[in-house]
């Protein structure tokens, strides 16, 4: 049996957006599931859209996420070069072959003539004008150095059908197909031509890409047929939407992989979430490691319907991955977020211990603990808590005693501080909450904070803790 060969063929136009990363991931997973090869090809023939540094971002993102390609520009392989602009000469040769066989033709039409063609719903359809030029005239004009493009000669009758593994049989009337440009006037191939030539020459037998290519694929199939080449298997993926109406798109500035990393999402969570954007495993599991994805991925699980990029769900998944980190892993990863804000002055291990199970993204760290450095006056109604049966009166009674206990604590750590508070509750003959709640409010001035009174006190240190208790007590007078 021939080995399965899939590919990811991004255009280097900026950061790798979510849709692109999903194409890479699915193509990789499908290849690996079938002991096949996954190839990276850079499609840089549209020089106008080229962005400096974008190729390196593609390499780095795939490398970081573990989507390893077996062949590609920076890793080599038997089917190179893997960068389209370096394959320029190949395309002309194949385009000429199509001209010979009547499947393509030279077109010398000026921009002016093209603009004079009738506008049908915003598009001007080429009218095959140059198809009828004699061979001699074409020769003469080429020799005279006239500017030209090469167009595909589409059949005008009949229809073209192909099978897509997700969307089923797709049929298009040939009369709907325009004589698209294969070679541009700068000698470069269009994407529409290059993708077919490259996929064939690179032995790609399975093409996985976004649904936006579903309707152009009949044109590509006509090219495969014209050359007498075997068509690949097609797997088109559903669109990724921002909401019910709008597609997620990097042109609209929607999130790229890089943006998500900067916001404090973990790569494993991002990959896990992206895998679920248009695919679900038979067992409906949601949290899946990369190895589990490799084992579970199948074409049957790809949905036809659009999927909505849900930042809330991504954050939830991210929190699960964060909770799973060892304290060392968490501390390492959290370091830049801690070191770049006021938290650098606190005990990092304590900060990490307090925050690890309480954030969904690393970006939240900075805001979640701001009360450590900001302590503005607050409403005494914060002491009201029906469940703990506390209010300002309870606080007035309990806080001086908390201060006394804390002043005498043997060791300033969570354990001892907690024991001191529990002991106080015991002595007063009240439930722990009656002491813990007012103490935490007094130390933070906030209804909700990560960590309880003793954890907060440990981080604040003795001096600041006693000072805050004094302030809170004075505020109750
Ligand atoms: N260069 C195309 C893109 O970035 C690739 C489409 C394909 O996979 O054929 O959208």
Task: Name the β-bridge partners of 160.
Answer: 172
Model pLDDT, residue 252: 67
With CA atoms as reference, report the closest residue to 166 among 217, 215, 235, 239.
Answer: 235
464 CB-contact burial (10 Å; exposed 0-12 / middle 13-18 / buried 19+): middle
Model pLDDT, residue 128: 96
10-residue averages of pLDDT along the chain (477 residues): 94 89 98 97 84 92 97 96 91 96 97 92 91 96 97 96 97 94 94 96 97 95 98 97 84 82 96 97 94 95 95 97 98 97 96 96 96 97 94 97 98 98 97 97 96 96 98 96
Backbone dihedral angles phi then psi of residue 326, each to the nearest 5 degrees = -75, 160
Kindly give the distance from the C-alpha atom of residue 9 to the centroid of ligand 1, in angstroms, as a whole number.
Answer: 5
Integer-rounded Cα radius of gyration of the chain: 32
Model pLDDT, residue 148: 98
3 state DSSP class of 307: strand
3 state DSSP class of 304: coil
Which residues make Cβ contacts (< 8 Å) with residue 210, sequence separation at least 6? Answer: 19, 23, 236, 237, 239
393 token code pair: 């009166």
> Which residues does a 6 A CB cutoff place in the pocket of ligand 1?
9-11, 43, 191, 195, 209
With CA atoms as reference, report the closest residue to 266 among 324, 218, 345.
Answer: 324
The answer to whether 241 touches 307, Cβ cutoff 8 Å, is yes
Which of 191, 210, 247 is the best mutation target for the ligand 1 pocket, counting ligand atoms within 8 Å of the beta carbon and taking the most?
Answer: 191
Task: Name the β-bridge partners of 163.
Answer: 169
Count of residues for the chain?
477
Q: Cα–Cα distance between 377 and 438 in angstroms, integer?
A: 15
Ligand 1, residue 10: give the atom nearest the CA: 4
Q: Cα–Cα distance between 165 and 163 in angstroms, integer?
A: 6
Ligand 1, residue 13: give the atom nearest the CA: 4
The DSSP element (H or E) to which 291 belongs, if any, is: helix 290-296
Residue located via tokens 């060969």: 5
The closest residue, in CA terms, to atom 2 on ligand 1 is 10
426 token code pair: 């015991």
Residues designated catalytic? 250
Q: Which residues of 232-249 are buried (b: 16+ CB within 10 A; e: fewer)?
A: bbbbbbbbbbeeeeebbe
161 token code pair: 């059908």
Q: Cα–Cα distance between 210 and 237 in angstroms, integer?
A: 5
Kindly give the distance from the C-alpha atom of residue 49 to the centroid of ligand 1, in angstroms, as a whole number.
Answer: 13
């Amino acid at each position: 049996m021939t080995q399965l060969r899939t590919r990811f063929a991004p255009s280097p136009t900026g950061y790798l957006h979510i849709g692109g990363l999903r194409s890479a991931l699915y193509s990789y997973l499908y290849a690996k599931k079938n002991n096949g090869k996954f190839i990276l090809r850079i499609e840089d023939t549209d020089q106008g859209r080229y962005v400096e540094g974008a190729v390196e971002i593609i390499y780095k993102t795939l490398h970081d996420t573990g989507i390893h390609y077996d062949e590609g520009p920076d890793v080599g392989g038997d089917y190179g070069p893997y960068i389209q602009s370096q394959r320029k000469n190949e395309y002309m040769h194949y385009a000429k072959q199509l001209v010979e066989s009547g499947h393509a033709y030279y077109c010398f039409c000026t921009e002016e003539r093209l603009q004079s063609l009738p506008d049908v719903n915003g598009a001007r359809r080429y009218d095959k004008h140059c198809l009828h030029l004699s061979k001699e005239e074409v020769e003469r004009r080429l020799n005279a150095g006239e500017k030209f493009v090469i167009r595909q000669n589409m059949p005008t009758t009949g229809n073209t059908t192909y099978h897509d593994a997700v969307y089923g049989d797709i049929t298009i009337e040939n009369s709907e197909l325009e004589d698209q440009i294969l070679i541009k006037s700068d000698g470069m191939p269009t994407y529409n031509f290059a993708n077919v030539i490259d996929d064939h020459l690179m032995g790609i037998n399975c093409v996985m890409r976004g649904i936006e290519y579903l309707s152009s694929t009949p044109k590509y199939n006509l090219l495969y047929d014209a050359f007498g080449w075997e068509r690949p298997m097609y797997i088109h993926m559903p669109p990724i939407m921002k909401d019910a109406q709008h597609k997620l798109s990097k042109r609209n500035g929607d999130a790229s992989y890089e943006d998500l990393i900067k916001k404090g999402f973990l790569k494993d969570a991002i990959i896990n979430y992206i895998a679920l954007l248009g695919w679900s495993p038979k067992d409906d599991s949601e949290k899946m490691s990369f190895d589990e994805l490799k084992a579970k991925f199948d074409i049957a699980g790809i949905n036809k319907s659009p999927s909505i990029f849900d930042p809330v769900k991504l954050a939830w998944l991210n929190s699960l991955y964060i909770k799973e980190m060892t304290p060392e892993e968490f501390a390492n990863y959290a370091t830049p977020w801690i070191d770049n804000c006021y938290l650098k002055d606190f005990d990092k291990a304590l900060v990490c211990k307090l925050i690890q199970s309480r954030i969904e993204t690393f970006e939240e760290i900075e805001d979640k603990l701001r009360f450590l450095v900001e302590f503005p006056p607050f409403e005494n109604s914060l002491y009201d808590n029906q469940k703990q049966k506390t209010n300002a009166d309870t606080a007035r009674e309990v806080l001086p005693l908390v201060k006394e206990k804390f002043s005498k604590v043997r060791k300033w750590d969570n354990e001892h501080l907690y024991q001191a508070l529990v002991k106080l509750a015991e002595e007063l003959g009240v439930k722990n909450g009656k002491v813990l709640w007012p103490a935490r409010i007094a130390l933070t001035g906030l209804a909700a904070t990560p960590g309880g009174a003793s954890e907060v006190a440990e981080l604040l240190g003795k001096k600041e803790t006693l000072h805050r208790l004094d302030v809170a007590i004075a505020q109750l007078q």
